[in-house]
Amino acid sequence: MTLHEFQQACDALRADAPARIAAALSLEAWHDVRSAMVGRKSGRLTELMALLPQLDREERRDAGAAINTLKLALEAALEARKAELEASAAPALQRDLTMPARALWRGAVHPVSLVIDEICDIFRELGFTVALGPEAESPWYNFTALNFPDDHPAMDMHDTLYLQDGGVLRTHTSPVQVRTLQSYAPPVRILAPGNVYRRDFFDATHAPAFAQLEGLAIDEGITFADLKATLAHFARAFYGERTPTRLVPSYFPFTEPSGQMEVFFDVGDGRGARWIEIMGCGLVHPAVLEAAGLDSEKYSGWAFGMGPARIAMSRFGLTDIRLLYDSDVRFLEQFA
């Protein structure tokens, strides 16, 4: 075969293609036409490409360029015809340009993040800064430095997630207290938000992974009265100026004395206003100060820990904590 004969064959295919493609009146017919023209096994274009080795070496470059140009033209014509057939096959309702567009979901800050941001803003006005720490901790930071006895139930496998290297997934953000006191000399005023992990069942009031927010103030001469006044200021800034608050006794290994703060608040669940616990708190235990390298005779301080998810539940009137972790757009878009 000569180059002239090869080009004539290409021209014949190019001339025949428009009519053949236009004659395809359905997607099934279109597939047949495409297979006959550019199919890999029996297409006319494939047959022409098989003839290239019969040409002289000097002629193959021009022939190859010609057949590549033809291939691009055929594929473009075929795709254009396919688009026409698909458009004509679509239901009339899908082509109604007067229909309103589908509403797009607007992104929103997660309700737990909203609560954390608001809490941080309140305490930032009191001189607090945010401190962070690792989620994979050593047992010393997570338990020992916080005055947990060796036989404390929280250290058992059924409560804590242990790692292969002997570490743990932190069960609270309290280790950030010790890490901060080791790095910075008092006075210290920090908030430590972050995720914590426990072996809890996922139910209406518990989650195995959840957010926690720790607060710490260390200086000379800090008393329980400072703690009470600060937390009362926070509760009234967050829930309203007239919100009643109270502190009731409790126990935590890392604080002494310990308490829990409650607010008298109507969460909107139909049960009316009642006392709701929002955090545990207390004066930092001297053993924690000593573990961090501070003189417990010189320095004192207080700490608190709260669950922003439960605060969000009381703020937004929720009764099931799983709503905050299920990533249901229908629920989350309410906060957009």
**Topology adopted by domain 111-335:** BirA Bifunctional Protein; domain 2 (3.30.930)
Residue 207 structure tokens: 């989650």
pLDDT at residue 93, rounded to an integer: 45
Residue range 99-152, pLDDT digits in tens: 787 777 667 788 888 899 999 999 999 999 999 999 999 989 999 999 888 776
Q: What percent of the chain has pLDDT over 70?
A: 93
Residue whose token pair is 């190859």: 64
Q: How far apart (Å, rounded) are the C-alpha atoms in residues 228 and 302?
A: 10
Domain-wise residue ranges, the chain: 3-95, 111-335
- Tell me which DSSP letter residue 265 carries: E
Looking at residue 281, its pLDDT comes to 94
Mean pLDDT of the chain: 85
Q: Which pLDDT does position 95 carry in this prediction?
A: 59
Residue ranges in the chain modelled with pLDDT below 50 = 92-93
Tell me the whole-structure pTM to 2 decimals: 0.64
User: Which pLDDT value is given to residue 92?
Assistant: 47
**So what's the pLDDT on residue 94?**
57
Cα 167 to Cα 146: distance, rounded to the nearest angstrom: 16
Residue 156 confidence (pLDDT): 61
